[in-house]
Structure 1
Amino acid sequence: MGNFKVEKTYQQINDKIRSGDVVVVTAEEMIDIVNDNGPEAAARQVDVVTTGTFAPMCSSGAFINFGHSVPGIKASKVWMNNVPAYGGVAAVDCYIGATEPCEDDPLNRVYPGEFRYGGGHVIQDLVAGQKIYLKAAAYGTDCYPRREYQTTLTIESVPQATLCNPRNGYQNYNCAVNLTNKTIYTYMGALKPKAGNANYCSAGQLSPLFNDPLYRTIGLGTRIFLGGGVGYVTWHGTQHRPDVKRAANGTPLTPAGTLWVMGDMKQMSPDWLVGVGIQGYGCSLAVGLGVPIPILNEEMARFTAVSDDQIFTQIVDYGNDYPKGKSSDLGQVSYAQLKSGAITLNGKDVPTVPLSSMVKAREIAETLKTWITGGTFELGEPQFTLPAP
């Protein structure tokens, strides 16, 4: 990886995990360790840094195999709790997306465009052990003659349930404001007129990709905390954009890298997969995700010591610019400023609103730390890392 004074391998770190000698700290704890001792000493002392994030991640969903009926059916249309799922996979496989709304949502009948229940809620209910009503329709074939099928499912009864999220863990995202004269409703939440609030969505110094900004250790096969269970990075996520402007510490100043992640839903928890409804926008799924960062050398120690005051994002006017693909120059703001509760924009104090939970992010990082120090979670060495700048 380079001419570093400290060089470790995944095998060496996993050997320490198995022997109980591994040293694991959270990304927030690593800041003080590096500041007090320097990156070289920190790299000798620490083996793994844990990260975490918990926020709505719209590009999420699940592949469900709901099992064969007698006689068999080749489902072409599928509904789960009256939420449409995609049936064009195989006979009894379907994919339910987090943002797909219920076809008969009572809230939508009263307030068109508003949805209380959707695919993300189906996923949460399923991992919570609740019964899910499934309806399937088909055109019928000689090998699969059945044309209609109705049943109830549980996480125990389905042969397979795999969370498959094409875009999670965004490496940085916009700070959203609205400079128009009316409130607008977006995936970044409700934005009040005349910059009445500024919404953001990142765990900052705890966020996984901020702690490995150049993707030195994350790629195909990286083992992660996902939805309360163990998952894996399986590809770079959709909209992965490594070639963006970055600060000297490697962190991007605009939305950049993303993760494609998968995991067994039978291991997961409704505490970490939570269906959400976003006013005026629709449904989504809040996902708990954490990535362990191996401290292979002093470079990784330095990366994982990044703090909120060293991470910046752009301010974007969603009222005028975002729908039109423009980008006004409203400046940049640090996550330390965002987390302080207010930023200054055009000489005005604007309250900030997080869509992500720092409390949950810390809990994920601490849980990963416990798993690794307890010897139940070893690092997955990637077959190749994410496309890098």
Structure 2
Amino acid sequence: MADFKVNKTVGEINERIRKGKAVVVNAEEMIEIVRREGKVRAAEQVDVVTTGTFSPMCSSGLLFNIGQQPPVMKVSKLWLNNVPCYCGIAAVDAYIGATEPSEDDPLNKVHPGRFAYGGAHVMEDLLRGKAVHLRAEAYGTDCYPRRELDKDITLADLPNAVMLNPRNCYQNYNAAVNLTSRTIYTYMGPLKANCSNVNFATAGQLSPAFNDPYFKTIGMGTRIFLGGGIGYVIGEGTQHVQKPKRNERGIPENGSGTLMLKGDFKKMDVRYVRAQSLVGYGPSLALGVGIPIPILNEEIAWFTGVSDEDITMPVKDYGYDYPNGIPRELARVTFAELKSGEVTVNGKKTATVPVTSYTMSLEVADKLKEWILKGDFLLTEKQDDIPSY
């Protein structure tokens, strides 16, 4: 174990939270503290740094149970507002993915791929207390004889509703441009022809995984802010890159770490769970995620001092290169440059467009900070590591 000048435990920090003595700052505030005081003094002064992001997170969804009513049923197909759900789990359990489109959306028929309504919209409707239409089919068995079910339901009617997200909180990502001569429509938003805009994601210096780049405090069992309620990290997400190329601060230079998350959907806040319709791509879900970083030592304090100037992102072409699996990097820019509103790509000054809300990301970090300062949110120790070396 490294010989640190500062050594704290999560238990000690939680005791300070209970007594109302914990020093909690958001990740933006921590930058100046580390610059002014240095990492050792910062570690001595600060107990928790709160992070936040509010961004489209396509790999999200809802695991739910519709309950039984006589005669009982083993559902084989199920739709909520005509959005197909996956039913190969158990009798009346199902999963609806945020990006699954409605089967009867008129935009789907007129402009294939330009869906206006999908799984994310069903999730938002349920969270708003709206009724959604449930239609289910079954082949029928001796123990589960019912073959059809047709009714309206609300979130209160579901015995269980768990947000279960296979891949959230990308540690870094591409900035996207389009080098073709026509506008294209992507999960990064519309990209105009001839490199006329650069779209970029993540919350930069506020982003959870940039503040703990080696996942020294984040792991299985970490309690988090998820969609306005309390959730947990349950491990690395899908597409997690274990050994990315990093800069001198440990920040991955390309898309790398991801997190798998869960939380009680019924206790979430619709302000932080919002459906999106990405023209020409389909539905997605904008989700607020905040993760507290316990400042156990000066190394972790140093990591949480990361700024937008320390983070670089690759600019890649989504018109030809990305669809054809070509990993060419057109430019490398800092997050600070992207936030400035303009970067240079292939010698051309190009306007930048964020798909992540920095304002909402800061709100998430501050809301989590408020919970901790009030003593309503205690930290947890990770029970297993997320591979990062």
TM-score range, shorter chain: over 0.9
Contact 1:205–1:306 (8 Å) recurs in 2: yes
Give distance in 1, aligned partners of 2:122 and 2:222.
27
CA shift for structure 1 position 177 = 0.6
Between 267-276 and 332-341, the greater mean CA deviation after superposition: 267-276
SS in 2 for 1:271: helix
Contact 2:184–2:190 (8 Å) recurs in 1: yes
Give distance in 2, aligned partners of 1:112 and 1:345.
32
1:73 aligns with 2:73: yes
CA shift for structure 1 position 385 = 1.9
**Which residue in the other structure is 2:112 paired with?**
112
CA shift for structure 1 position 182 = 1.3
1:91 aligns with 2:91: yes
1:42 aligns with 2:39: no
Contact 1:74–1:140 (8 Å) recurs in 2: yes
SS in 2 for 1:156: helix
Aligned length: 389
Give distance in 2, aligned partners of 1:54 and 1:28.
15
**Which residue in the other structure is 1:359 paired with?**
359
The residue type paired with residue 106 of structure 1 is P
The list of structure 1 runs, each at least 4 consecutive aligned residues, that deviate by more than 6 angstroms after superposition, is none
**Which residue in the other structure is 1:22 paired with?**
22
CA shift for structure 1 position 87 = 0.8
**Which residue in the other structure is 1:305 paired with?**
305
Give distance in 1, aligned partners of 2:131 and 2:16.
42
Per-residue CA deviations over 1:214-254 (Å, capped at 9, x if unaligned) read: 11001110000001100000010000003111000000010
Contact 1:134–1:153 (8 Å) recurs in 2: yes
SS in 2 for 1:219: coil
Contact 1:53–1:203 (8 Å) recurs in 2: yes
The residue type paired with residue 332 of structure 1 is R
Give distance in 2, aligned partners of 1:47 and 1:342.
36
The residue type paired with residue 189 of structure 2 is G
| Identical counterparts, % of pairs | 57
Give distance in 1, aligned partners of 2:312 and 2:194.
23
1:233 aligns with 2:233: yes
Give distance in 1, aligned partners of 2:142 and 2:87.
19
Per-residue CA deviations over 1:11-50 (Å, capped at 9, x if unaligned) read: 0011111111111000000000010000000000000000
**Which residue in the other structure is 1:388 paired with?**
388
SS in 2 for 1:257: coil
CA shift for structure 1 position 328 = 1.9
**Which residue in the other structure is 2:172 paired with?**
172
Give distance in 2, aligned partners of 1:145 and 1:329.
57
| 1:181-330 paired onto structure 2 within 5 Å | 181-330=181-330
**Which residue in the other structure is 1:11 paired with?**
11
> Given the two structures, how large is their TM-score scaled by the length of structure 2?
0.99
**Which residue in the other structure is 1:152 paired with?**
152
The residue type paired with residue 2 of structure 1 is A
Contact 1:289–1:364 (8 Å) recurs in 2: yes
Per-residue CA deviations over 1:45-71 (Å, capped at 9, x if unaligned) read: 000000000111110001010110210
> Given the two structures, how large is their TM-score scaled by the length of structure 1?
0.99
The residue type paired with residue 291 of structure 2 is V
CA shift for structure 1 position 111 = 2.3
Give distance in 1, aligned partners of 2:384 and 2:108.
45
Give distance in 1, aligned partners of 2:16 and 2:131.
42
